[in-house]
Amino acid sequence: MSIMRKKIVAGNWKMNLTKDQSLELVNEISKNVDNLSEETEVIVSPSFVNLSSVVDSTSRNKKVQVAAQNMHFAENGAFTGEVSAEMLESIGISTVILGHSERREYFNEGSHLLTKKVEQALEHKMRIIFCFGEKLEDRQSNNHFDIVREQLQDSLFHLNEVDWDSIVLAYEPVWAIGTGETASPEQAQEMHAFIRKLVENKYDDEVSNRVSILYGGSVKPANAEEIFSKPDVDGGLIGGASLNASDFTAIINAI
Ligand code: 13P
């Protein structure tokens, strides 16, 4: 059976790039993806302050979508410094990254909080790129499958099947993020197949075959093709290499 899952290459710009740099980068990327096939989606994720400008500059190029890196769980209110789903919606953002390991690690975002964010995003009909993945010590102690199972169960497995149309999974082993150490294509495939099976066991094979599972952690032009060639790897969430137009384009072309 051939499965038509969406292929996605998403660039997480993290806390990088000024407004001018963001616009320059997205313009370069837009030029390079003009001939991309319909099945492949390209996403960039600038900082909050640059979202609006990047959305405006990509409005004529439907090939490049724009996502936020985070959002608050509340509708509005006294949460100084935070950004709501409604605010994102109002500037044309319909995709949000939630659960990134840097949010979990530096801003204490745990399952309870992430569940509330997931619910708020769905309430606003936003698509969620949900990140999760084990730390080095979890892999060394052979707990990586348990950790990943818990992260998914805690924040996503209360959702119904229709909600899953709005979910993209991003497996990002923490030990591979920004370290230059990538999971081997075999390690990525093994975990992605495990994740798909978890979803199948919880729901059914229609849901599990439809959900795109991205790999993130030191993806670069030199290793993208091999990782993306694995059957359960449906694309990538790219950090460092997404800040350079030619590297990011090479990664997109690898898919
Ligand atoms: P790097 O590609 O820099 O390892 O970052 C991955 C990541 O965290 C994407 O969200």
Position in ligand 1 atom list of the atom nearest CA 241:
2
pLDDT at 37: 82
| Residue 99 Cβ contacting ligand 1 at under 6 Å | no
Query: Is 72 among the residues known to form the active site?
Result: no
Residue 120 in domain = yes
Mean pLDDT of 94-117: 97
Q: Whose CA is nearest to atom 9 of ligand 1?
A: 239
Mean pLDDT of 176-189: 90
Mean pLDDT of 193-217: 97
Q: Which of 35-39, 145-149, 172-176, 186-190 has the lowest mean pLDDT?
A: 35-39
Neighbouring residues of 171: CB distance < 8 A, sequence distance ≥ 6: 132, 133, 148, 188, 191, 192, 195, 213, 214, 215, 216
The answer to whether 216 touches 11, Cβ cutoff 8 Å, is: no
Cα 78 to averaged position of ligand 1 atoms, centre (Å):
31
Mean pLDDT of 245-251: 97
Residue 159 in domain = yes
| Residue 178 Cβ contacting ligand 1 at under 6 Å | yes
| Residue 46 Cβ contacting ligand 1 at under 6 Å | no
Residue 2 in domain = no
Residue 76 in domain = yes
pLDDT at 2: 52
The answer to whether 81 touches 92, Cβ cutoff 8 Å, is: no
Query: Is 190 among the residues known to form the active site?
Result: no
Return the percentage of the chain with pLDDT > 70, whole number: 99
Cα 135 to averaged position of ligand 1 atoms, centre (Å):
14
Q: Is the pTM of this model over 0.95?
A: yes
Residue 1 in domain = no
| Residue 219 Cβ contacting ligand 1 at under 6 Å | yes
Which of the two residues, 63 and 108, has the higher pLDDT score? 108
Mean pLDDT of 130-156: 96
Residue 164 in domain = yes
Residue 14 in domain = yes
The answer on pLDDT for 1 being more than 60 is: no
Q: Which of 41, 102, 109, 172 is catalytic?
A: 172
| Residue 12 Cβ contacting ligand 1 at under 6 Å | yes
Q: Tell me how many domains the chain contains.
A: 1
Mutate to test the pocket of ligand 1, among 219, 242, 247 (most ligand atoms within 8 A of CB): 219
Mutate to test the pocket of ligand 1, among 172, 182, 242 (most ligand atoms within 8 A of CB): 172
Nearest to 69 by CA among 90, 43, 37: 43
The answer on pLDDT for 99 being more than 70 is: yes
Cα 61 to averaged position of ligand 1 atoms, centre (Å):
25
The domain of 24 spans 7-254
Which of the two residues, 33 and 226, has the higher pLDDT score? 226
Position in ligand 1 atom list of the atom nearest CA 219:
2
3 confidence band (pLDDT: 50, 70, 90): low
The answer on pLDDT for 186 being more than 70 is: yes
Mean pLDDT of 165-178: 95
**CATH number of the domain to which 246 belongs:** 3.20.20.70
